[in-house]
Amino acid sequence: MERIKHFPIPFFAVVMGLSGLAIAYQKAHHLFGAPKIIYEALMFSAAAAFCVVAIFYLAKAFLFFDEVKADFLHPIRINFFAAISISLLLLSISFYFYFPLVAMVLWAFGTILHLFMTFYVVSFWIRHNFEILHTNPAWFIPIVGNVLVPVVGVDFLPKEVSMYFFSVGMFFWVVLGTIIFYRIIFHHQLPQKFIPTLFIFIAPPAVGFIAYMRLFGAFDFTAMFLLNIALFFTVLLFFMGRSFTGLKFFISWWAFTFPLDAVAIAFMSAYQVSGSMFYAWIGLLLLAIASLVVGYVAVITVINIGKKEICVEE
């Protein structure tokens, strides 16, 4: 019962990491003939993970409602609730070419939930006083996550709807990126458990590129700008590799996964529209790295679950 009481909302990042890798392998299957079984296994594993995590968190909400309420009012944990809607959106993308009707339902629920989370979180920020040390890259999740909506949404509703979500997400990427960079450079270092969230800096330009290509299909200056910014942050974080070695395991390690999935998808998409083998090789290299990272983090997570070192009081 104590495990349920302390079940963390960031556990939905597991779904993000698995579904993101499923989408990457779906792209690799389409472009390079990667085995379809890998994509299918990851897709259904992500769906199963979502069901398991959702059941546990619903049990926590039923048995320990005050704990969930405290999470929802917490200046940092509130941002991770949007991982639920993002998980639904990612699952909808992964199922899109497999079960389109299922994808549409998942997209509808994910979009509505994320729309609510966007307005709630921004109003929460406005109505409360925050310290600069409360900020971290996880703040991107509820707001910048809007850029995921157009990826398949452009096929479900008029383009203007997807443009709305894309515009909101990209605007807040610039605003929050400035604030968080200021916090990281001019204030105390991030606590150890939040250091993996630095990888989230990769996701907004990478997903922004994917969404931009779905909206406009033009490999123009804006597309190349987003792709190159994603590449910059990817190389920067690997250049800073020593900062990530020796970290104690936290569920936040899953923050390593989805951004790497996203940038791999972005470069494979760039190859798809440009035909440049330069982008193809970078995309395949990043896919290999993302696969290793997701696999490693998954194994370490299972080991720590076995040791009962997850779902403990902070």
The CA-CA-CA angle for residues 122, 91, 308, to 5°, reads 85
Residue 189 pLDDT level (bands cut at 50, 70, 90): confident
What pLDDT, on the 0 to 100 scale, is given for residue 252?
A: 87
Q: 3-class SS at 187? A: coil
Question: What is the pTM assigned to this prediction?
Answer: 0.94
172: number of Cβ within 10 Å? 21
Confidence class of residue 309 from pLDDT cuts 50, 70 and 90? low
Q: What are phi and psi of 75, to 5 degrees?
A: -65, -20
CA-wise closest residue to 26 among 272, 204, 257, 254: 272
- What is the C-alpha separation between 141 and 169, in angstroms, rounded? 10
| Better-scored residue on pLDDT, 247 or 312 | 247
Cβ-contact 202, 233 below 8 angstroms: yes
Say which range, 8-12, 92-96, 118-122, has the weakest mean pLDDT. 8-12
CB 75 within 8 A of CB 125: no
- The residue behind tokens 């629920």 is 109
Chain centroid offset of residue 25 CA: 16
At 18 the pLDDT is 97
> Residue 272's pLDDT band (boundaries 50, 70, 90)?
very high
User: What are the pLDDT digits (tens) for 24-83?
Assistant: 999 999 999 999 999 999 999 999 999 999 999 998 888 888 888 888 888 888 999 999
**Predicted pLDDT at 65:** 85
- Predicted local confidence at residue 130, as pLDDT: 84
Residue 173 near residue 214, CB atoms below 8 Å: no
Question: Tens digit of pLDDT for each residue in 106-125?
Answer: 999 999 999 999 999 999 99
215 contacts: CB under 8 Å, gap ≥ 6: 150, 154, 159, 162, 163, 166
Structure tokens at 74: 């917490």
Name the residue among 258, 286, 251, 312 with its Cα closest to residue 93. Answer: 258
> In the structure encoding, which two tokens stand for residue 274, read together?
């440009």
Of 62-71, 198-207, 232-241, give the lowest mean pLDDT range. Answer: 62-71
Q: Assess contact for 271 and 280: CB atoms under 8 A.
A: yes
CB-CB neighbours of 276 under 10 Å: 13
Q: CA-based Rg of the chain, rounded to a whole angstrom?
A: 18
pLDDT score, position 314: 60
CB 169 within 8 Å of CB 208: yes
Q: How far is CA 70 from the centre of its chain?
A: 23
* Cα gap 179→173, rounded to integer Å: 10
The CA distance from 81 to 11, in Å, is 10
Residue 290: band (very low, low, confident or very high) from pLDDT cuts 50, 70, 90: very high
pLDDT of the residue at 211: 97
Write down the pLDDT at residue 270: 97
pLDDT, tens digit, 9 for 90 and up, residues 23-38:
999 999 999 999 999 9
Q: Which tops the pLDDT comparison, 133 or 50?
A: 50
Dump the DSSP string for 254-280. GGGHHHHHHHHHHHHHHHHHH--HHHH
Helix (H) or strand (E) holding 215: helix 203-216
- Cα–Cα–Cα angle for 12, 261, 310, nearest 5°? 30
Per-residue confidence (pLDDT) for residue 190, from 0 to 100: 86
Residue 268 CB-half CA count within 13 A: 25
How large is the average pLDDT for residues 12-19? Answer: 96
Give me the architecture of the 2-306 domain, per CATH: Alpha/alpha barrel (1.50)
Name the CA dihedral angle for 286, 167, 164, 211, rounded to a multiple of 10 degrees: -20
pLDDT value of position 10: 86
Q: How far is CA 84 from CA 110, 189, 220, 292, in A?
A: 8, 28, 33, 24
pLDDT top residue among 191 and 170: 170
